[in-house]
Amino acid sequence: MMHLVLAEAEVELVPASISSHPAVRAHARRRGKKATEQLLDSSFHHSAMRKLPEAERRGRPDILHQCLLLALDSPLNRQGLLRVYVHTRNDEVIHVDPSTRIPRSYHRFVGLMEDLFKRKSIPPEKPLLRLEKKNLAKLLGDLSSDRTIIFIEEGHPTKWRDLFKQETVTVVVGCFPHGDFHFSWRELNCEPVCVDPEPLDASTIVARAIYAFEDSIGLWEKRFER
Ligand SMILES: C[S@@+](CC[C@H](N)C(=O)[O-])C[C@H]1O[C@@H](n2cnc3c(N)ncnc32)[C@H](O)[C@@H]1O
């Protein structure tokens, strides 16, 4: 089993401090939403975001969208051996049911996330997505794994084929465009791993980590019963 944690994902509602900016209000009006009920999106709110701290890495739901599509369509997930958790910059955790079908259209995905921030679980009766307040240390502590690996450029250089053994593993990937993790991963019992001399996109790390894990447990053979 792999627990995949998409950490410090840059998904948040428009902060109140920029909700009256003309670019934010115009976008909200076009979408028929209140300004603060919209997801912050650097493509649309760029000029308003200049006032925000860490503006250069915020408002990137597109990174999360790509990672979720890749993870949930993987053979590992289809085999019931993947659990996905999204941890956000504001210390919320989204529990993703393996049967969730994430909309392929980015605009529909944004609408779904906005609904989730409002209602906290979707659909309410038997939630596929559930949002709760929780920090990363608490989430990692709650997951029962043999190992926790954090993908990070300053980690130990490791070949993909040497990374996984047959085990239950938690894998942490930063779901943000630039910079380092905010949380102090050195204080937790994590193995820091670097897989390339260059920074790669979060989606590339997610796709390769899932494939490397599938390979390590012989998933191809299991699925073809060989
Ligand atoms: C796009 S990176 C973001 C940070 C990166 N410093 C940058 O400037 O682009 C997103 C995440 O992918 C993972 N990652 C990217 N490149 C990596 C590498 N070479 N080795 C290990 N993890 C990597 C890390 O978890 C990182 O937080």
Domain, as residue range, for 44: 16-49
Closest residue (by CA) to atom 4 of ligand 1?
178
- pTM of the entire structure? 0.96
Q: What are phi and psi of 65, to 5 degrees?
A: -55, -50
Q: Is 84 in the same domain as 154? A: yes
Looking up residue 150, the CATH number of its domain turns out to be: 3.40.1280.10
Tell me: the pLDDT tens digits for 197-217? 999 999 999 999 999 999 999
Query: If you ran DSSP here, which 8-state letter would residue 168 be given?
Result: -
Q: Work out how many domains the chain is built from and give that number.
A: 2
Q: What is the mean pLDDT of the segment spanning 128-133?
A: 98
Q: Is 177 in the same domain as 71? A: yes
pLDDT at 188 over 90: no
Position 148 scores a pLDDT of 96
Q: Is 213 in the same domain as 190? A: yes
Q: Is 27 in the same domain as 80? A: no
* Cβ of 15 below 6 Å from ligand 1: no
Tell me: the pLDDT tens digits for 39-94? 999 999 999 999 899 999 999 999 999 999 999 999 999 999 999 999 999 999 99
Closest residue (by CA) to atom 10 of ligand 1?
202
Give the closest residue to 207 by CA, choosing from 9, 61, 73.
73
pLDDT at 226 over 80: no
Q: Is 194 in the same domain as 117? A: yes
* Cβ of 202 below 6 Å from ligand 1: yes
Q: How far is the CA of 153 from the centre of ligand 1 (A)?
A: 6
Looking at residue 2, its amino acid is M
Q: How far is the CA of 111 from the centre of ligand 1 (A)?
A: 27
pLDDT at 144 over 90: no
